[in-house]
């Protein structure tokens, strides 16, 4: 998953979309601000990509008048992609492993690096 940092803000921009071939479908379930949304709309309108499935947006909730809402080849979901079938079980596995690691003074997993921004 792509973290949101100054280096990844608008990582997916007009230049990115221009380099795509075979009209892929663009999917973003990570960070809304990693996508230059106006460049995405332009890429969709110019058929640089054949569609988009989006769970996150630059501005949330997505404004009612946003152009993405008018495009027929776009699937919009209300920031729910993390609600997978086994999410709780998988999260508790990580929690349990890290609690055991803390107790045993061994390395933990899935650590947040605040200096890196994620």
pLDDT for 54: 96
Whether residue 10 contacts residue 34, with contact meaning beta carbons closer than 8 Å, is answered with: yes
Helix (H) / strand (E) containing 94:
helix 87-104
12, pLDDT greater than 90:
yes
Whether residue 60 lies in the annotated active site = yes
pLDDT over 70, % of the chain: 97
Beta bridge partners of 62: none
118, pLDDT greater than 90:
no
Whether residue 96 lies in the annotated active site = no
Whether residue 108 lies in the annotated active site = no
Q: Looking at beta carbons, which pairs linking 111-116 to residues 24 or more positions away fall under 8 Å?
A: 116/3, 116/5
Q: Find the mean pLDDT for residues 27-36.
A: 94
pLDDT digits (tens, 9 = 90+) for 60-107: 999 999 999 999 999 999 887 777 778 788 889 989 999 999 999 998
27, pLDDT greater than 90:
yes
Annotated active-site residue in 9, 10, 11, 79: 79
Annotated active-site residue in 60, 69, 96, 108: 60
CA end-to-end distance (rounded Å), the chain: 10
Q: Where are the domains of the chain?
A: 1-82, 84-118
Give the predicted TM-score (pTM) of the model.
Answer: 0.76
For every residue of 65-83, DSSP letters joined together read T-GGGG-TTEEE--S-TT-
In CATH, 1-82 is 3.40.50.720: yes
């Amino acid at each position: 998953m792509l973290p949101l940092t100054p280096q990844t803000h608008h990582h997916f921009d007009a230049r990115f979309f221009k380099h795509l071939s075979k009209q892929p479908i663009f999917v973003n379930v990570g960070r809304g601000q990693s996508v230059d949304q106006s460049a995405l709309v332009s890429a969709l309108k110019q058929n640089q990509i054949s569609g988009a499935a989006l769970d996150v947006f630059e501005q949330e909730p997505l404004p009612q008048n946003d152009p993405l809402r008018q495009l027929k080849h776009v699937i919009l979901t209300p920031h729910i992609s993390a609600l997978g079938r086994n999410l709780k079980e998988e999260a508790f596995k990580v929690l349990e492993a890290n609690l055991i690691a803390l107790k045993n003074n061994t390395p933990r997993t899935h650590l947040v690096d605040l200096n890196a921004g994620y």
